[in-house]
Amino acid sequence: MRSLALLLLLCLCLPAQARDVQSELAQLKKERQQLALERQAMESRLGDLNRQLRKLDRQWVKARQALQKVEEAQARLQRTVKELRQRMAKLKQRVALLQQRMQQEAALVWQRAGREPGWLEVLAGIPVTEIPHRRYMLNALIQRQEADRQALQQSVQALILVEQELQQQQQVLAGVKKQKAQAEAMARAKLKAKRRLTQAVRRDVRLKKARDATLALQQKGLQKLLERIAAQAAARRKAARQAAKRSGRQLPVSSYSIKGHIRRHKGKLPWPIRGRLVAHYGARLDRNRPKLRGVLIAPASLRGKGRQVHAIADGVVRYADWFGGFGLMMIVEHSDGVMSIYAHNDRLYKSIGDRVAAGDVISDAGATGWVEHTRLYFEMRDRGKTTNPERWCRG
């Protein structure tokens, strides 16, 4: 009891803005738990086909992430090898220049003495004692070249170390290349297993009906999810305004604040990914499937950053998880009751409650859900209603 009273006293002593943030974090935790329960309840109603799809998606995502880690390690090693080779080339050049300069200085000494520079073999390691008649000239030359000799020795030692490190890194890189080949084979196998399921669905009338019914149910589930997210956002804004009015202070800047007015940029917003539209708003991918309420985009490139998905505007992440036929899905709430949905991802880089700025990388386009190839499903909602993304994004 004493500890509880102390905790309550501490909360009362906290600044109003800190209490606002704490209450928002508690609300956010509650929302996460509620979303997880609702998703589980929906999935339990969808049957074996949906569970099989989710299992294959999880295996595919795991294989893709393993491959991505190996590719990142390979890229780092390749950069290291490149830098080592550049350093080695510079060191070799420095060694050659030092040797050339020392030989030229020795030649000049002998030319001034009126003799031929026949003792240059000394630089190749012949002891000075074998040519005693030239010792007095060598002493003078050695004093002049001491700094060059030290620099030459240091450069040669550094070159030896760089060559050794390069050899080690090349061995590591060879091992990573083998790992990459294995990871690629695993990813191909998992994607092939998923494609077998989609092909079986296309061939089997009963499975096809089950999938179409599942997608229709999930579309309704998404609609309810978006409506609830919008209602929660409105309730939060209302509660924050009332609290600010009662206390006579300004509305606090919090994790729920969203900068910018997205409507001002309608028709000028960037697309979330570079690529081509393979299915437009309102299209049907199959005769019995519901019409698309968004667009389907094929990335222009599957290499490097080509699969990266960017937030179209400032906002707050309201959902980030697997959602049936949509695969790994993210919902971002923007200002003025506008939301954007990104689905079929292989990887999500943001979590519920995270703030995102326009242009932030939020996910990687992938092949989760009911797609066979790498795609991004992109949908926009305006005050709960679907709207054509082509009216919002430029070009």
Contact 383, 335 (CB under 8 A): no
**Tens digit of pLDDT for each residue in 117-164?**
444 544 545 454 544 445 555 565 666 667 777 777 787 788 788 888
How much is the mean pLDDT over the chain?
78
Tell me which residue of 368, 317, 26 sits closest to 187, measured CA to CA. 368
Tell me which residue of 308, 303, 313 sits closest to 349, measured CA to CA. 308
**pLDDT at res. 139:** 61
**Tens digit of pLDDT for each residue in 58-83?**
888 888 888 888 888 888 888 888 88
**pLDDT at res. 393:** 95
What three-state secondary structure class fits 291?
coil
Whole-angstrom Cα distance, residue 75 to residue 152? 33
pTM: 0.67
**Which domains does the chain carry?**
19-203 (1.10.287), 258-391 (2.70.70.10)
Contact 361, 345 (CB under 8 A): no
195-200: long-range contacts, CB 8 A cutoff, minimum separation 24: 195/372, 197/52, 197/53, 197/56, 198/370, 198/372
Type of residue at 87: R
The number of beta carbons lying within 10 Å of the beta carbon of residue 7 is 10
φ/ψ region of 304 (left if φ > 0, alpha if ψ in -120 to 50, else beta) reads: left
Averaging pLDDT over each range in 161-175, 194-208, 230-244, 377-391, which range is the top one? 377-391
Q: How confident is residue 363, by pLDDT bands cut at 50, 70 and 90?
A: very high
